[in-house]
């Protein structure tokens, strides 16, 4: 098992290195001067016309006159020291912007993950154990619709209903200005109620569909019949024989969701004016803030690699067939 984990970790490190390198190569092989990507197109042409000396200084500062090897070494060093440069939009270090946005994203994504993972599993198991039953007939179409409706449509519809018509929640924002202490916490909770509700609905519907289809498929497996024929009781059959097997695809999905904890939900954040990672990524791309956008994409890629790694390790811990395939049988 240790060998399997080590192998997977090494592959993940290699993949992350490749992603970082490719992002460097892309910038330096794309048509146009790399300084355009670093300071933005508008700034570049402004400086080119008005202050070419400062532009040269910037080129010198970013070391763009150095040979590729030197530039690559410097780039790797800055990635290793988490120095991703300054944001073109507010001239603050990208890392500082990230820490501020991540805090707000995590406020939405952590409760979403916990509640949706639990709700989706419980409801999915219940529907999957009695496929075609009353509960399944009611819940499946509801979650199917929720799972397929675009999130911006649902967000806008609920925003109109709860914020505009009923005025139960604010239209957008994260906290009312000028409030402190417990009132501030209450204000944040008030503001996050609707986006959180929408994110939970989406995530739960996905988790529900996955768990339901997995459980209903596994319950008709021959080994479940064998388990039932042993008279070991409904609960033991469910937990020991059905859920243990259902855990393999479900844990994979959960690990993937963990990977998107930081990247946030761009659409919901933009609709609700929630200044999290999704919003940060959206703004960076719209404003051609290259340093921030590059950081966001690197972060997303690293999160995907790490969540894959976690998924691989968890699956190997649950499923001996995966350990055997990886040559790490116990």
Partner 1 sequence: MDETRQILLRVEDLSVSFEGKNFVQAVEHVSLEVFTGDRLCIIGETGSGKSILLLAILRLLSPTARVTGSVRYRDQDLFRLTEKQLDAIRGSRISYVPQGSGNGMNPLLRVGFQVAEPLIAHRGMKRKPAEARAVELLRRFHLGREETIARQYPFTYSGGMRQRALIAMGISAGAELLFADEPTKGLDETRVLLTAEAFNALEGQTLVCVTHDLNFARRVSSRVCVMYAANQVEAAPTEELFRKPLHPYTRDMLAAMPENGLRFRPGYAPAHNDADTAGCKYRLRCDRCSEKCRQTPPMFDVGGHQVRCWQYE
Q: How far is CA 34 from the centre of its chain?
A: 29
Which CB, 74 or 228, lies closer to partner 1? 228
Taking residues 219 to 248 in sequence order and writing x for each that binds partner 1 by CB under 8 A, - otherwise, the string is -xxxx-xxxxxxxxxx-x---xx--xx---
Which CB, 56 or 325, lies closer to partner 1? 325
Stretch that binds partner 1, among 119-127, 182-190, 215-223, 306-314 (CB under 8 A): 215-223
CA within 13 Å, CB half, 118: 5
Phi and psi angles of residue 93, each rounded to the nearest 5 degrees, phi first: -55, 140
In the complex, least distance from residue 118 CB atom to partner 1, rounded to whole angstroms: 22
Kindly state whether residue 327 participates in binding partner 1, applying the rule CB under 8 A.
no
Our CA dihedral for 14, 15, 19, 22, rounded to 10 degrees, sits at 70
Both tokens of 279, joined, read: 């919003």
Q: How far is it, in rounded angstroms, from Cα 209 to Cα 204?
A: 8
DSSP 140: H
In the complex, least distance from residue 308 CB atom to partner 1, rounded to whole angstroms: 21
Which CB, 165 or 234, lies closer to partner 1? 234
In the complex, least distance from residue 197 CB atom to partner 1, rounded to whole angstroms: 35
In the complex, least distance from residue 329 CB atom to partner 1, rounded to whole angstroms: 8
| Residue 175 CB contacts under 8 Å (≥ 6 apart), including other chains | 184, 187, 188, 191
Q: How far is it, in rounded angstroms, from Cα 137 to Cα 264?
A: 32
Handedness of CA 39, 43, 49, 52 (dihedral sign): negative
Q: How far is CA 230 from the centre of its chain?
A: 43
Angle at 214 between CA 212 and CA 216, to 5 degrees: 65
In the complex, least distance from residue 254 CB atom to partner 1, rounded to whole angstroms: 18
Stretch that binds partner 1, among 3-11, 144-152, 253-261, 318-326 (CB under 8 A): 318-326
Kindly state whether residue 1 participates in binding partner 1, applying the rule CB under 8 A.
no
- Could you identify the residue written with the tokens 């507010």? 90
Which CB, 63 or 233, lies closer to partner 1? 233
Kindly state whether residue 137 participates in binding partner 1, applying the rule CB under 8 A.
no
Kindly state whether residue 319 participates in binding partner 1, applying the rule CB under 8 A.
yes
Q: Which residues pair with 86 in a beta bridge?
A: 93
* Residues lying near partner 1 in the complex (CB under 8 A): 220-223, 225-234, 236, 240-241, 244-245, 318-321, 324
């Amino acid at each position: 098992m240790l060998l399997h984990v080590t192998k997977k970790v090494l592959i993940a490190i290699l993949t992350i290195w490749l992603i970082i390198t490719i992002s460097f190569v892309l910038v330096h092989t794309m048509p146009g001067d790399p300084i355009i990507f670093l300071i933005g197109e508008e700034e570049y042409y402004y400086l080119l016309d008005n202050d070419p000396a400062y532009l040269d200084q910037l080129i010198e500062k970013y070391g763009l006159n150095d040979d590729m090897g030197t530039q690559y070494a410097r780039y790797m060093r800055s990635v290793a020291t988490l120095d991703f440069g300054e944001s073109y939009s507010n001239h603050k270090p990208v890392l500082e912007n990230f820490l501020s946005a991540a805090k707000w994203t995590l406020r939405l994504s952590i409760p979403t993950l916990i509640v949706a993972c639990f709700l989706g599993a419980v409801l999915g198991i219940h529907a999957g154990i009695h496929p075609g039953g009353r509960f399944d007939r009611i819940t499946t179409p509801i979650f199917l619709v929720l799972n397929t409706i675009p999130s911006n449509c649902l967000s806008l519809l609920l925003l109109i209903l709860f914020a505009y018509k009923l005025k139960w929640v604010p239209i957008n924002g994260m906290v009312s200005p000028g409030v402190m202490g417990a009132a501030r916490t209450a204000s944040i909770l008030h503001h996050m109620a609707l986006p959180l509700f929408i994110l939970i609905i989406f995530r739960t519907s996905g988790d529900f569909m996955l768990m339901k289809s997995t459980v209903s498929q596994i319950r008709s497996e021959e080994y479940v019949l064998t388990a039932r024929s042993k008279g070991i009781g409904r609960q033991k059959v469910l937990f020991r024989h059905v859920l243990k097997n259902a855990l393999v695809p479900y844990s994979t999905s959960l690990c993937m969701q963990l990977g998107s904890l930081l990247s946030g939900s761009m659409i919901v954040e933009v609709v609700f004016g929630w200044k999290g990672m999704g919003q940060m990524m959206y703004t960076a791309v719209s404003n051609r803030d290259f340093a921030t956008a590059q950081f966001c994409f690197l972060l997303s890629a690293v999160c995907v690699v790490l969540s894959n790694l976690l998924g691989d390790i968890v699956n190997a811990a649950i499923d001996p067939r995966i350990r055997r395939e990886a040559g790490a049988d116990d």
